[in-house]
Chains A and B, each alone.
Chain A
Amino acid sequence: MSDNTKKWFSLNLNSKKKQSTGSCGCGKTSGGCGSHTKDQISDKEFDAAVDAAIGDERKKDGFDQVFDVQMDRRTAFRKLTASLVIGAGAVSTSCNLTTGEETKEKAQIDWEEQFKGNYKLMTDDEKKATVDRLVRSYQLRKGENIDMSSKNAEKDVLFGYAFNISKCQGYMDCVSACVEENNQDRNSQMEYIRIHEMKDGKGLKFDEADDNYYHEVPAEGHFYMGTQCFHCDNPPCVEVCPVQATWREEDGLVVVDYDWCVGCRYCMAACPYDGRRFNWSTPEVPENEINKNQHYLGNRMRKKGVMEKCTFCVQRSRAGKNPACVEACPTGARIFGNLLDPESTIRWVLNNKKVFRLKEDLGTEPKFWYFMD
């Protein structure tokens, strides 16, 4: 197929294309639902075709990934122009005898960061390299040390969340803890979590609920329901991203590569749960309030024009901690854990309480369950 040279997503309407090796329409991985390979190309041919198309790119990173590909003159010129600004800056600083070592290093980092590949495609070494660059860059710019991790998903872990709507009292401690933990923009007061105050006896009416109340809580005759990114197992936001800057990790977290995002906000429109947020302006956090324990896919500083959202505090959860909202909740309404661990409390909740999820009929498979006492 001609569009195999592209790394981005293409609509695949009615065209037969091998989706994934070894699985078929009935969901089985081995035989049983008729002739698999008869009318499709074999695995070998498929791999060969992929290799011919993007084989080199898969192994490359940094500016090799950008420069060392076949492209027409127009694309090449466009890419060169876009990089010229940084290039010019880098050249002028590195050729200038009067600029200091630090400026040169800064330019070098900028150059390498500009041409790095998609985080999803990076090897562990490349991930570490970009994280090191970002840490060094922050040090050069702000004179402060941050701790950034590139820890991958752990095997046998699938994160899930449960929310007790009869326990939540609407204190919103989770909201402020989330903002502090995840370095969200203080100017636009961006918040990942919304707590919806709903009237008893009216059902779940989000259009009638108030998600920005300010009075003593819990208010008589109301209950509270929190929403945030539900980390769907079949996330529509990932499907629509034209540059694959957002994806589902092996442990179920739906994450964003802030350096790969182009800010088209398709994902924001595709999310049926209002789970995604956009940086309309450069996010600002006072230096003394910055959480310096960071993760590349989590709470590191974002820039203007990129999407972000709840990551179940990837910097905490991958280290065995609970997300900040869970830790901050004084009522114990929030439960977090490993869905694959039969002994975990989240599994007990799923097996023993009457749980439900929002818009289950969409087939998005959110990993965020609600339950009542």
Chain B
Amino acid sequence: MNRYNNIHILMYTFLAVILFSCKHGEGEYHNITDKIEAKSKNYHGTSISSEQYLEGIKTIKITEGAHTFLIPERKSEIKSYACTECHTKPLEELKSKDPSKKAHWDIKLAHADLNTMNCITCHNGNDMDNLTSLTGTSIDFNRSYKLCSQCHSKQFKDWKGGAHGKKLGGWAPPRASMTCVNCHNPHNPGFETRWPAGYNTQKVKERE
């Protein structure tokens, strides 16, 4: 009987050694994804806010699907808004008889091709103070992302979630994101090539 007990104790000790020898020191969680999931279950926010970093930026709150966040207000940023300050008459009457005089001479449309887009894809000659959707619904200049999202639905989805576009303020709530036209010129939305910010001459020497 005593011998069996001894064998049992030996076996338990052996088992315990095996169990403890598996420890690698990772701590409680198997991986970072498990840790994030477990630890965020009872998340009630933090005391950190990024509100102070948004001071001085006029923003509006938008809700798109499940996402609510701030975007910069746009109308006050457009120098010649409201358009009706010049466009007092319908477009046909305003048109200059002299072809050398152009009102918006600085705007060259480099967005899609002319088969797809021209001025009136986004602007409405009869309602200059608002943008217009493809089906003719009026879109406020402050919510111009609604215009872009008609075609760029994939970017729109990423932007809503936060994968596309630059953030304003900080990481802490409230969330504020730049809107499409803050980075992309709507008439020429592509990014230019340019020179990098710097060149490390020491790195070259070190690697010689």
Contacts and interface: CB of A to CB of B under 8 A. Distances in A.
A176 interface: yes
B40 A340 contact: yes
B196 A172 contact: yes
A213 B196 contact: yes
Most buried by B among A29, A191, A215, A341: A341
A341 B166 contact: no
A353 B52 CA distance: 30
Contacts of A298: none
A85 interface: no
Interface stretch (A110-118, A257-265, A320-328): A320-328
B163 A34 contact: no
A145 B49 CA distance: 26
A252 B190 CA distance: 37
Contact of A320 (B43, B50, B167, B191): B50
A321 B40 contact: no
A346 B183 CA distance: 21
A318 B45 CA distance: 14
Interface in A12-38: 16, 19-20, 23-27, 29, 33-35, 38
Interface in B19-37: 19-23, 25-32, 35-36
B116 interface: no
Interface residues of A, number: 79
B48 interface: yes
A346 B48 CA distance: 17
A139 interface: no
A171 B197 contact: yes
Contacts of B22: 25-26
B203 A338 contact: no
B163 A338 contact: no
A278 to B, nearest CB: 12
A155 B20 CA distance: 31
A175 B196 CA distance: 10
Given A24-B23, A345-B161, A320 B197 contact: no
A286 interface: no
A338 B46 contact: yes
A317 B171 contact: yes
Nearest to A159: B171
B5 interface: no
Interface stretch (B8-16, B73-81, B131-139): B8-16
Contacts of A23: 27-28
A234 interface: yes
A62 interface: no
B162 A335 contact: yes
A244 B35 CA distance: 24
B48 A154 contact: yes
Interface stretch (A76-84, A266-274, A365-373): A365-373
B19 A25 contact: yes
B186 interface: no
Nearest to B206: A188
Contacts of A342: 40, 43
Contact of A353 (B36, B163, B193): B163
B3 interface: no
A26 B19 contact: yes
Interface in A286-337: 316-322, 326, 329-332, 335-337
B196 A171 contact: yes
Contacts of B39: 156, 158, 340
A320 B19 contact: no
A212 B204 contact: yes
Nearest to A320: B172
A217 interface: yes
A164 B198 contact: no
A33 B22 CA distance: 12
A3 interface: no
Contacts of A156: 39, 43-46
Nearest to A197: B196
B201 interface: yes
B27 A34 contact: no
Contacts of A170: 196
B125 interface: no
Given A214-B195, A344-B171, A365-B32, A189 B163 contact: no
Contacts of A348: 161-163
B167 to A, nearest CB: 7
Interface of B: 12-13, 15-17, 19-23, 25-32, 35-36, 39-40, 43-50, 52-53, 154, 158, 161-167, 169-173, 175, 178, 183, 191, 193-204
Q: Pick the 5 closest A-B CB pairs, nearest first.
A: A345-B162, A320-B172, A332-B166, A348-B161, A189-B202
21 contacts: A24-B19, A25-B19, A27-B26, A27-B29, A38-B12, A39-B16, A155-B46, A176-B198, A191-B203, A316-B170, A320-B50, A326-B167, A330-B166, A332-B166, A332-B183, A339-B36, A340-B39, A340-B43, A344-B175, A345-B167, A371-B163
Interface of A: 16, 19-20, 23-27, 29, 33-35, 38-39, 154-158, 160, 162, 164, 167, 169-173, 175-176, 187-189, 191, 211-218, 233-234, 316-322, 326, 329-332, 335-350, 352-353, 363, 365, 367, 371, 373
